[in-house]
Amino acid sequence: MGVIVELIGLELPLVGPGDDLVASILEAAKKIGGLKKDDVLVVASKVMATAGGELEELSKVRPSRRAKALAKRSDLPPEFVEIIIHEADEILGVSKGAILTIKNGVLSANAGADRSNVPDGFVALIPSRPDSEAGKIRQEISKRAGVKVGVIVADSNVKPLRMGTVGQAIGFAGIEPVVDYRGQLDVHGKPLRITFQAIADQLATAAQVVMGEGGERIPVVVARGVKKISTENPKFSPKIAPSKDLYSGMLKFGGEI
């Protein structure tokens, strides 16, 4: 029998600013017999941002000239664009309905700011320190439930030349996010030279199948049965410098817009 990995969605009550997210997770996990050692929790960045109060109220934002100019090019509200400008580390391009940015070393639309699945008039931001926040959830679960799990903070992303969203790990704790296959043999006995498996991103995408993108209210997925990625000291980061990226070496970016 091959390896079996289970993806178990946890339906949580509607989470608001200041709510105890860990308590909600542990209560929901009772329906599946509780959490087990080496489970990996994939937590939607939106619910983490909401519980942490990382929301912006559009009516309180005063758009700058730059925001108004980019709003015309993108067909986005100027107030929303102002938030994107503030959140982005770099703005790379503009298209109808989206602004391409780099945020915390990750290529993303609109710096991860999102108006869906939040109260009307508000925008959810990417958690400011996703690795740290993942670590806090992991520590609290260990403290309250006596079990060590891995945690992935996941956000939706769009890949070039592909329709639809996939999941992406923007933060993690307690797991090795990238598995090094270099030196191992392929099915024909040839050694692999450059292969890394982006296991955290793969789990984030798999979990998104269960989470959905609408009103499913499943912001946390338990990945159970994932082998050999639990660790206290990960060796790798899924982020790489633009100079080492496959695409950026072939594309010319025009600099900050």
Q: Where are the domains of the chain?
A: 1-53+129-235, 55-126
CA angle (41 as vertex; 178, 98 as ends), nearest 5: 70
Angle between helix 21-29 and 130-145 (nearest 10): 50
Helix, strand and coil in the chain, % to nearest 5: 30, 25, 45
Residue 256 confidence (pLDDT): 56
> Regarding predicted confidence, which is higher, 195 or 210?
210
Give pLDDT tens digits for 37-75: 999 999 999 999 999 999 999 999 999 999 999 999 999
pTM: 0.90
What is the radius of gyration, based on Cα positions, of the chain? 19
Q: What is the mean pLDDT of the chain?
A: 91
**SS3 state of residue 93:** strand
Residue 12 has pLDDT above 90, yes or no: yes
What superfamily would CATH give domain 1-53+129-235?
CofE-like (3.30.1330.100)
CATH number of 55-126: 3.90.1660.10
Residue 118 in tokens? 């939040």
Give pLDDT tens digits for 83-130: 999 999 999 999 999 999 999 888 889 999 999 888 889 999 998 899
Give pLDDT tens digits for 161-179: 888 889 999 999 999 999 8
